[in-house]
Structure 1
Amino acid sequence: MLRELKGLWALILGASSGMGRATARALAAEGMHVVGVHFDPPSAQAATDQLVQELRAGGTCAHFAHANAAAARTRGQLVPWVADLTGGAGVHVLLHSLAFGSLAPYLGGGDGAPEAVTERQLTMTSNVMAHSLVLWVQDLHAAGLLPRGAKVYAMTSAGSSRAVAHYGPVSAAKSALESHVRQLALELAPHGVAVNALRAGVTLTPAFQRIPGSEEFARRARTLNPHGRLTVPEDVAEAVVVLARTDSAWITGNTIGVDGGELISG
């Protein structure tokens, strides 16, 4: 059964840019209230403040917290805050869109080559981009803030199954993220909560543009995509809105391509 989203709440981890920012706007346009968590440099704060004002101007209750979403302390502080904001009703949509990790080769150094990734960098990348999803879901579920019909989405990429220079730490994290999605889908099914990964196509987000060789990746993706263009954050946001409209948990445990056919054409 399809439902209206008006008056329901969304929690977006990584809400200030890219997929998270676009999804906040799209859900707010449907009448949803938004809790956002972001961790940006001071130079980006003005843009985030502008987003919050924009959402509120449209009648949405928008509350953003500047905090490290991968930290246990942040969850400990924000989960009770979410409970208060939602009146205990919880969130209908949880979007995990954290794109902070190390881009480094596994073997490096010498002759001016980049240094090899360290154990600390590998651990940090997986903690932020993968394991934090499990920990947020654990805490929200324990607090009764993932009601029946809720939807959990985690952003992944085709890099989870491809070997690309310097992308190894992130690729491993994305692979772990997709595995976490499957396991969470299994365990949340009896509670009527759906969990899926959304595999966006190449998108010119700030995180993507930090990847060495990103300009060439983008050129190839634009050439190969049947639609003749790259994915944009609004494509992902639209997918979240469409999937969030149902109370059913029958679409769960998947990695759903939101790439206009980019992967099948490559």
Structure 2
Amino acid sequence: MVAPRHTKVAVITGAGSGIGLACAKKLSAAGIAIVGVGRTVEKLKELERVIDKPDQIATVAIDVTWEDAPQRIVQVALDHWGHIDFLINNAGVGSPKPLHEADDDNLDHFLNVMLRAPFRLSREALPHMPAGSAVINISSTFAVIGGLRGGAYSAAKAGLDGLTRHIACQYGASGIRANSVAPGVIYTEMTESRLKDESFRRMNVEMTPHTRLGRVEDVAGTVAFLCSDDGSFINGQTIVVDGGWTSTKYFSERGRTSVWT
């Protein structure tokens, strides 16, 4: 049974954990119905349990790179609610390699997950997004600055920002906005192992002019703002959520005065 048109609906990829899960919780709390997309059935069941609103949550266990993924994801939204108001392309992969270490398989994997899949899903969703809708792509600070060891990851995320601006330009006059949210290093399952590396921690902690590193809630709050009426005139932007890491040359006193070996 299709719900009334006034129900707002958000499709979120990578919704089973990390930033995607935080976005689902935040948007659901604002009364928005969620289509949660992920590869792991167990994580999606946990998402359903956390949302705890059976009539406001649907899940799709699928790899976003599969050829039929866009059609299957969009169809679930249409079967339940008949339309899509917000598309949050969040699914991603980590552990990038620098250019000289990345083979073609590595390149294809990163591009497929973080550029080709959002491109195809956006293309499939757009005809079902009414005026007032928005596409939000989860980018990265590595799209802004390149980044050590960024390789195919930086390239894919930069391409995603380009796609964002195209959607904003092409479909903005139809009332569909598009923006990117570019997080810095956020505590998630994907970054947990990297943050155990002392040099990686130093590069982020000692060069962030803030009292802490980022949390998934910081990103989810920005996404929710872009989905709200308060964000309705923001279009074609990349909003960086990193505590000032990319935009400053900050270096902490500890970093300046420590003995480095």
TM-score, scaled relative to structure 1:
0.83
Whether the aligned pair in 2 keeps the contact of 1:226 and 1:261 (CA below 8 Å) is yes
> 1:127 — aligned with what?
112
The more displaced of 176-185 and 92-101 is 92-101
With over 3 angstroms needed to count, the CA separation of the structure-2 counterparts of 1:215 and 1:158, relative to structure 1, is farther
- CA distance in 2: counterparts of 1:61 and 1:157, whole angstroms: 29
Which residue of 127, 139, 148 maps to 2:131? Answer: 148
Give the deviation of 1:65 after TM superposition. 1.3
| Aligned partner letter, 1:238 | G
- CA distance in 1: counterparts of 2:180 and 2:85, whole angstroms: 16
The more displaced of 228-237 and 203-212 is 203-212
1:203 aligns with 2:186: yes
> 2:204 — aligned with what?
221
Query: Matched residue of 1:12: which SS?
Result: strand
Whether the aligned pair in 2 keeps the contact of 1:156 and 1:177 (CA below 8 Å) is yes
**What fraction of aligned residue pairs are identical, expressed as a percent?**
27
1:49 aligns with 2:45: yes
Give the deviation of 1:10 after TM superposition. 0.6
1:139 aligns with 2:132: no
Whether the aligned pair in 1 keeps the contact of 2:225 and 2:231 (CA below 8 Å) is no
Give the deviation of 1:55 after TM superposition. 0.4
With over 3 angstroms needed to count, the CA separation of the structure-2 counterparts of 1:55 and 1:215, relative to structure 1, is farther
Whether the aligned pair in 2 keeps the contact of 1:14 and 1:20 (CA below 8 Å) is yes
The more displaced of 76-85 and 11-20 is 76-85
Query: Matched residue of 2:10: which SS?
Result: strand
> 2:98 — aligned with what?
105
With over 3 angstroms needed to count, the CA separation of the structure-2 counterparts of 1:119 and 1:12, relative to structure 1, is same
With over 3 angstroms needed to count, the CA separation of the structure-2 counterparts of 1:99 and 1:251, relative to structure 1, is same
Give structure 1 stretches of 5+ with no counterpart: 1-5, 108-115
Query: Matched residue of 1:64: which SS?
Result: strand
| Aligned partner letter, 2:103 | T
Residues paired across the two proteins, number: 244
Query: Matched residue of 1:263: which SS?
Result: coil
Whether the aligned pair in 1 keeps the contact of 2:44 and 2:61 (CA below 8 Å) is no
- CA distance in 1: counterparts of 2:199 and 2:70, whole angstroms: 38
| Aligned partner letter, 2:116 | H
Whether the aligned pair in 2 keeps the contact of 1:208 and 1:214 (CA below 8 Å) is no
Give structure 2 stretches of 5+ with no counterpart: 1-5, 250-261
| Aligned partner letter, 2:52 | R
Partner deviation per Cα, 1:70-111 (whole Å, 9 max, x = no partner): 22211122222211111x2x222211111126623332xxxx
Whether the aligned pair in 2 keeps the contact of 1:101 and 1:129 (CA below 8 Å) is no
Over aligned residues, Cα RMSD in angstroms?
2.3
> 1:80 — aligned with what?
75
